Amino acid sequence: MSQTQMMKGILDGCLLAIIRGKEVYGYEMAERLSEYGFGEVSEGTIYPLLMRMQREGLVTSVKKASTAGPKRKYYSLTDKGRQELEAFLERWKRLERSVNEAIRQETNEGSEGSA
C-alpha cells in the first residue's frame, strides 16, 4: 500500500482519536484501525507515525510489563495532541463536506451511475 501524504495525515488523525480514549499500545491501535476498515494499511505503518507524533510532543509513552510476552509501550495524548486532534476533526469535517458535496452534485448531473 503506497503511503501518500494525505493518507498519512488521515492516519495521524485516527491515531490521535484512538489514543484520546485511554492509554493504548501499538498492537491494540493496529487492531482497531483494521476493525475500522483500514485493513489494507500494513500494521507497522503506525510506528513511524507514532515516532513523529512523539517527537512533535503530541503523544507521550510509558513502558509497562505485560502478562504475556515482552514489555509494551503505552501511548497517551498531551495537551498539544488534544489540540491537534481538535484541529484535525475540524479540517476533516470541512473536507468531508466538500468531497460529499462535489460527488453528490457531479454524479447527479452528468455521468451514469457508478458505485
Partner 1 sequence: MRGVKAVPELSKESRRFIDDLRLYLFSSGKKEEEIREIAEELEAHLEEAERNGKPIEQVVGASPKEYMEMISNEMEFDKKAWMKYIPVIIFGAISFTIIGQLVEDMRLSYSYAILGGSALVSILFVIMIFGAFKYMAARQMSRVKEFLIILPPVFIMMTLFGALVFWDMTTDLPGFELGVMPSMIVGAVTVAILMWVSIWAKTAVLLVMLSAIHVPELLLKLTTLDVTISLIINLVAMYLIIGIYMYFSFKKMKKADAAAG
The contact set with partner 1 (CB under 8 A) reads 1, 3, 25-27, 30, 42-45, 47-48, 51-52, 55, 66, 68-73
Smallest distance from the beta carbon of 73 to partner 1, in angstroms?
A: 5
Q: By C-beta, is 45 or 78 nearer to partner 1?
A: 45
Q: By C-beta, is 56 or 90 nearer to partner 1?
A: 56
Rounded to whole angstroms, how far apart are CA atoms 47 and 23?
A: 16
Smallest distance from the beta carbon of 1 to partner 1, in angstroms?
A: 7
Smallest distance from the beta carbon of 26 to partner 1, in angstroms?
A: 5
Q: Which three cell numbers stand for residue 101?
A: 458535496
* String of DSSP letters for 18-78: HHHHS-EEHHHHHHHHHHTT-TTS-GGGHHHHHHHHHHTTSEEEEEE--SSSS-EEEEEE-
